[in-house]
């Protein structure tokens, strides 16, 4: 998606440790006009897939998923929680995720009764790099018994193994911007 | 807002410890159609206030704020982060919040360069009870030097001190549903 690539090139910051900082428009200050257009793009890519619910992960996936929902007839958005707080009760589905960015392992949790085996799920998330978070979300869909239409990712670091890993599981992955390489000095190159 | 009150009455669950569980439509599975209508309501309430940015708190405020943004000409949404991760760099504005629901104290953080003194901020959040989270967000706006138009809250527990506390600071607070009392057996009563 040209618009997102241009925005990443203009406002993204490549930091040491292979970090792409997009906090000025994607996951701290959110450019909702951009997210609306990204939502429309996901809507086109997955039109006719019969999506009944969007699944994402707190916190940075929530805005992207919510703004995409109108393009799927306002289907409900479920966000997996990273720590089961007091307000999650009853049966939950859980999966374990390793976050390389934050250097921690955590559980992601969805209340069981929020996804039914009749659902067709689209997973939406902001980043795909090692694929750990996405693998966890796929695991949750599989445990729920629902059908998985695929994943819609804002930014894929295509030089990292996550994309191949998840596509290798036979899962459709659509990323709006696929980074081939990035470097603080040489800048960002996208896959063509 | 009648629609939200009816939904709370129908799908909200009153749990021990004064907890109102609204995870089936507001903060775990999100009914984006409802949130769109809530956003329209916030848009009406604060029309003509010259809002340039919406400030909210991760995670459950993000969807509500994002879906409200189109009714403020797609103004950017900033969400305060609860823990400063590796991806927050540079100067930050910080405030301390006590969460009674989770029994913890945490810092909320916004990168300094995301809010300018020229901004007029609308704070949006899901719950107002003791007012701790809202007080922290107000503190962040004050530190930034921006103007504060007021707060838009989904559900206010009007029998708790937060609403009076914040309004007593001269801040406009608009809550779409104001709970007068709630009880697992007697049900939920709203302010009239």
d(CA A60, CA A28): 8
For residue B77, the chain A residues in CB contact (below 8 A) are 29-30, 32, 63
DSSP secondary structure letter of residue B88: -
- What pLDDT does A104 receive? 82
Residue carrying structure tokens 């997009």: A22
Kindly report the nearest CA distance between residue B180 and chain A, in angstroms: 21
How many Cα atoms are found within 13 Å in the side-chain-facing hemisphere of A22? 23
Residue B154 structure tokens: 């989904």
Residue of chain B with shortest Cα separation from A58: B59
A106: left (phi over 0), alpha (psi -120 to 50) or beta: beta
Residue carrying structure tokens 């530190």: B143
Low-confidence ranges of chain A (pLDDT < 50): none
Rounded to 5, what percent of chain A is helix, strand, coil? Answer: 30, 35, 35
- What pLDDT does A98 receive? 85
**Could you tell me if B70 and B54 are in contact, meaning their C-beta atoms sit under 8 angstroms apart?**
no
- What pLDDT does A90 receive? 66
- What pLDDT does B88 receive? 53
Helix (H) or strand (E) run with residue A117 in it: none
State the CB neighbour count (10 A cutoff) for residue A175: 21
Residue A179 structure tokens: 């980074």
- Measure CB to CB from residue A86 to each of B29, B77, B101 and give the nearest one: B101
**Could you tell me if A115 and A75 are in contact, meaning their C-beta atoms sit under 8 angstroms apart?**
no
Kindly report the nearest CA distance between residue B164 and chain A, in angstroms: 25
- What pLDDT does A61 receive? 97
pLDDT per residue as tens digits for the range B118-174:
999 999 999 999 999 999 999 999 999 999 999 999 999 999 999 999 999 999 999
pLDDT band at B105 (very low <50, low <70, confident <90, very high): confident
pLDDT per residue as tens digits for the range B14-33:
999 899 999 999 999 999 99
Kindly report the nearest CA distance between residue B65 and chain A, in angstroms: 9
Contact A79 B28 (CB under 8 A): yes
For residue A29, the chain B residues in CB contact (below 8 A) are 53, 76-78, 111, 114
| Orientation angle between helical segments A60-68 and A32-45, nearest 10 degrees | 60
Lowest mean per-residue pLDDT among A43-47, B4-8, B91-95, B102-106: B102-106
Reduced to 3 states, what is the DSSP secondary structure of residue A183? strand
**What pairs with residue A173 in β-bridges?**
A151
Reduced to 3 states, what is the DSSP secondary structure of residue A177? strand
pTM comes to 0.95
Closest residue by Cα to residue B121 from B72, B192, B161, B156: B72
Residue carrying structure tokens 């589905």: A93
For residue A85, the chain B residues in CB contact (below 8 A) are 101-102
Residue of chain A with shortest Cα separation from B86: A102
Contact B32 A69 (CB under 8 A): yes
- Measure CB to CB from residue B86 to each of A19, A70, A75 and give the nearest one: A19
Reduced to 3 states, what is the DSSP secondary structure of residue A127? strand
């Amino acid at each position: 998606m040209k618009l997102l690539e241009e925005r990443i090139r203009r406002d993204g910051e490549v930091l040491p440790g292979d970090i792409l900082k997009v906090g000025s428009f994607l996951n701290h200050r959110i450019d909702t006009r951009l997210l609306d257009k990204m939502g429309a793009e996901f809507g086109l890519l997955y039109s006719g897939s019969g999506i009944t619910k969007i699944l994402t992960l707190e916190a940075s996936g929530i805005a992207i998923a919510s703004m995409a929902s109108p393009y799927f007839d306002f289907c409900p958005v479920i966000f997996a929680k990273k720590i089961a707080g007091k307000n999650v009760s009853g049966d939950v589905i859980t999966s374990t995720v390793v976050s390389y960015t934050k250097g921690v392992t955590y559980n992601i949790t969805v209340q069981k009764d929020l996804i039914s085996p009749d659902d067709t799920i689209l997973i939406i998330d902001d980043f795909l790099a090692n694929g750990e978070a996405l693998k966890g979300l796929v695991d949750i869909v599989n445990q729920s018994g629902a059908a998985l239409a695929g994943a819609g990712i804002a930014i894929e670091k295509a030089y990292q193994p996550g994309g191949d890993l998840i596509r290798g599981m036979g899962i459709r992955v659509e990323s709006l911007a696929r980074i081939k390489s990035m470097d603080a000095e040489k800048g960002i190159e996208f896959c063509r």
